[in-house]
Amino acid sequence: MNAALQFAERFRVPLCLLLVFGIWQAVHLAGVVPEKFFPSMPEIVGAFWRMLSDGTVITAWVTTFLRALIGLIAAASLGIALAILSDLSPVLSRGIRYVSDILQPIPPAAFVPMAVFMLGLGTKLYAFVIILVTVWPPYLNGVTALQAVSPVQVNTGRMFGLSRSQILWQVRLPAALPEIFTGIRYAATISLIAVIVSEMLAGRDGIGFMIYKKVYAMRSSDVFALMFLVACSGVLLNGLVALLRRALTGWHMRMMERPE
Amino acid sequence: MTSILTADAVGKAYGTGSNRLPIIKGLTLSVEPGEFVSLVGPSGCGKTTLLMCLAGLLAPSEGEVRFKGQRVTDPPIGLSVVFQDYSRSLLPWKTNLDNILFGMRRVTGMDKAAKRDRAMEILSAVGLTGFDGHYPWQVSGGMQQRVAIARGIAAQSELLLLDEPLAAVDAQTRADMQDLLLDLAARFNQTCLLVTHDVEEAVYMADRVLVLGPRPTHVVREIEVDLPKPRDQLATREHPAFLHARHEVLALIRSMRQRTVAA
């Protein structure tokens, strides 16, 4: 029993994948959904392999992933910069808060038509849509975290002669960084969604556009293969954020993980 | 001899108009070089506010504070505060050694290596040899407060303002830390002003106890503590002079509390 549990713990990732495969295959074989729309796992893997060998999927994936990554970096930097500005000026903070309250509930897809009219089809459109939906979690977490820094920490900085800006850079920002990263992590997911949606609605390349084409061509196994690829991209993007987070705020993660 | 720290008719109030809340009013005190002075008072009388004013972290509404003859407007060099909340005062993303080096950033006449040596020397003086590479959250509360004290001293401090530094550590550690503080004060020539709500601690540590009144607070009595040095946890606490001073302070605080309750 114990050995079985240990085995399950050790191989939990492949086991979960196997479970998903199994359920998928069972649904496929049960014939609940017409076969045309719900291909078997071997068909999906085969479709992926085909797209991989003709090279189309690689170019599309690199395009999409870079868009999501660059968009995330830009949005996170902008979010942190805005959080710092808001911290310096309460008036600006209130202003940005209104804007974010209005813009935040709008789904990325709703921005795309407007962006097409304003910016045309191209890089500017992606930048606009991604940043507009991705900037808020790092910004909002940044504002809250900067406000929440303990007055004792600030007074400690003042006692050792730090100026206001030195306190911001050397005390308050490092203290706020763990919570900012929680926002960036969330933003990573949104960034990928925004890219795929923009590519589907207004794109000429990338995975989103590819999915769109395949849907119209009724290539369901290709569509599913691409969806799995998107899922993997999400995991990869989160992994990159986690790496940076560990490098910059590793102390916080170890502090939280330590046994009491 | 000129006083190292003076407060002259210091007042501090929060808010304005009908919301004005006076915390300190007409407070005058002075601390001489090499002295160990304790400040005690009924709880909520504004001890921490006073300490912040003395440290230049809070601007008084009236009067003035002088450190070595210079008017205090910002935290001056040579004055270190040891806060009660050591877990927040130490920066958790810096190791113990880096926290101390952070406190030494205004220290002049030392290069990086010399600062490091000095920091290690003071760390070992507080009994933390071998813990320089640890993070504050990896060591016990008492050890964290010792790092904070070491950091205060390392900042080329002459005057330590201690804001209930031992209130959060357990009783056993507390007695050890009291003796360590007295030892460090003598060894590193630190003048100390200790704020505490523990009357026995105030008397045990001090050359002089200043008793604060209820809000708006000021010094209501000054009690000289004539006890032999070095102090000893057993002998000092059984000394007639200790018991006498303790009685005087406690009776005074109790009478103030009764008056406050009656009012």
Tokens of B180: 């360590």
* Separation CA A149–CA A163 (nearest Å): 16
Q: Is the pLDDT of residue B262 over 70?
A: no
Question: Does any domain span residue A38?
Answer: no
pLDDT at A260: 55
Mean local confidence (pLDDT), A2-6: 82
* Separation CA B150–CA B144 (nearest Å): 10
Question: Does any domain span residue A97?
Answer: yes
pLDDT at B1: 57
Give the model confidence (pLDDT) of A57-90 as tens digits: 999 999 999 999 999 999 999 999 999 999 999 8
Give the model confidence (pLDDT) of B43-84 as tens digits: 788 888 999 999 999 999 999 999 999 999 999 999 999 999
Strand (E) positions, chain B? Answer: 5-14, 21-31, 36-40, 62-67, 70-71, 79-82, 159-163, 191-195, 208-212, 219-224
Question: Does any domain span residue A258?
Answer: no
Write the CATH number for A67: 1.10.3720.10
pLDDT at B129: 94
CB pairs under 8 A between A and B: 53
Residues on chain B touching A150 (C-beta within 8 angstroms): 85, 88
Give the model confidence (pLDDT) of B209-255 as tens digits: 999 998 889 999 999 999 998 999 989 999 999 999 999 999 998 88
Rounded to the nearest integer, the mean pLDDT of chain A is: 90
A185: containing domain: 54-250
Give the model confidence (pLDDT) of B88-113 as tens digits: 999 999 999 999 999 999 998 899 99
Q: Is the pLDDT of residue B37 over 60?
A: yes
> Minimal Cα–Cα distance from A150 to chain B, Å?
7
Q: Which residues contact A53 (CB under 8 A, 6 or more apart)?
A: none
For residue B53, the surrounding DSSP H or E stretch is: helix B47-55
Residue B80 contacts A, CB cutoff 8 Å: yes
* Separation CA B71–CA B64 (nearest Å): 7
> Minimal Cα–Cα distance from A149 to chain B, Å?
9
Q: Which residues contact B223 (CB under 8 A, 6 or more apart)?
A: B208, B209, B210, B211, B245, B248, B249
* Separation CA A186–CA B90 (nearest Å): 30
Mean local confidence (pLDDT), B182-203: 94
* Separation CA B137–CA B209 (nearest Å): 34
pLDDT at A112: 84
Residue B75 contacts A, CB cutoff 8 Å: yes
Instruction: Considering only the beta carbons, identify the residue of B85, B89, B106 that sits closest to A161.
Output: B106
Interface TM-score (ipTM) > 0.85: yes
Backbone torsion region of residue A60, taken as left when φ is above 0, otherwise alpha when ψ lies between -120 and 50, otherwise beta: alpha
Residue B157 contacts A, CB cutoff 8 Å: no
Rounded to the nearest integer, the mean pLDDT of chain B is: 92
- 3-state class (DSSP) for residue B35: coil
Question: Does any domain span residue A9?
Answer: no
Question: Does any domain span residue A39?
Answer: no
Model confidence at A1, pLDDT cuts 50, 70, 90, reads low
pLDDT at B100: 96
Picking from A23, A245, A66, the residue whose alpha carbon sits closest to that of residue A138 is A245
Question: Does any domain span residue A201?
Answer: yes
pLDDT at B261: 67
Instruction: Considering only the beta carbons, identify the residue of A150, A162, A254 that sits closest to B88.
Output: A150
Residue A156 contacts B, CB cutoff 8 Å: yes
CB distance B55–A159 less than 8 Å? yes
Residues on chain A touching B102 (C-beta within 8 angstroms): 160
Question: Does any domain span residue A20?
Answer: no
* Separation CA A43–CA A67 (nearest Å): 29
| Measured CA distances, A250 to A29, A80, A236, A243 (Å) | 47, 19, 19, 9
Picking from B245, B220, B224, the residue whose alpha carbon sits closest to that of residue B29 is B220
Tokens of B221: 């009595």
Kindly report whether the peptide bond that precedes residue A42 is cis, defined as omega within 30 degrees of 0.
no
Residues in chain B: 263
CB distance B83–A158 less than 8 Å? no
Spatial contact of A64 and A233, defined as CB atoms under 8 Å apart = yes
Q: In what order do the strands lie in the sheet with B21-31?
A: B21-31, B5-14, B62-67, B70-71
Give the model confidence (pLDDT) of A78-134 as tens digits: 999 999 999 999 899 999 989 988 988 888 888 888 888 888 788 888 888 999 999
* Separation CA B205–CA B200 (nearest Å): 9
Residues on chain A touching B77 (C-beta within 8 angstroms): 161
DSSP calls for A30-79: HTSS-TTTS--HHHHHHHHHHHHHTSHHHHHHHHHHHHHHHHHHHHHHHH
Determine whether A181 is exposed, middle or buried from the number of CB atoms within 10 Å of its CB (0-12, 13-18, 19+).
buried
Q: Is the pLDDT of residue B142 over 70?
A: yes
Q: In what order do the strands lie in the sheet with B219-224?
A: B79-82, B159-163, B191-195, B36-40, B208-212, B219-224
CB distance A155–B102 less than 8 Å? no
Bigger pLDDT: A167 vs A14: A167
Model confidence at A21, pLDDT cuts 50, 70, 90, reads confident
| Measured CA distances, B142 to A34, B56, B103, B193 (Å) | 69, 27, 19, 20
Preferred mutation among A160, A246, A255 to probe B, highest tally of B CBs within 10 A: A160
Q: In chain A, how many domains are there?
A: 1
Q: What residues 93-152 of chain A have any CB closer than 8 A to a CB of chain B?
A: 150, 152
Q: Is the pLDDT of residue A242 over 90?
A: yes
Q: How many CB atoms lie within 10 A of CB A231?
A: 11
Residue A160 contacts B, CB cutoff 8 Å: yes
Model confidence at B191, pLDDT cuts 50, 70, 90, reads very high
pLDDT at B263: 60
Instruction: Considering only the beta carbons, identify the residue of B92, B106, B137 that sits closest to A160.
Output: B106
* Separation CA B76–CA B78 (nearest Å): 6
Tokens of B241: 């002079």
Q: What residues does A41 pair with on adjacent strands?
A: none
Question: Does any domain span residue A246?
Answer: yes
Spatial contact of B191 and B4, defined as CB atoms under 8 Å apart = yes
Residues on chain A touching B55 (C-beta within 8 angstroms): 159
Measured between CA atoms, the residue of chain B closest to residue A155 is B57
* Amino acid sitting at position A189: T
Mean local confidence (pLDDT), B130-156: 94
Instruction: Considering only the beta carbons, identify the residue of A160, A251, A258 that sits closest to B155.
Output: A160
CB distance B93–A252 less than 8 Å? yes
Picking from B142, B138, B137, the residue whose alpha carbon sits closest to that of residue B176 is B142
* Separation CA A149–CA A175 (nearest Å): 7
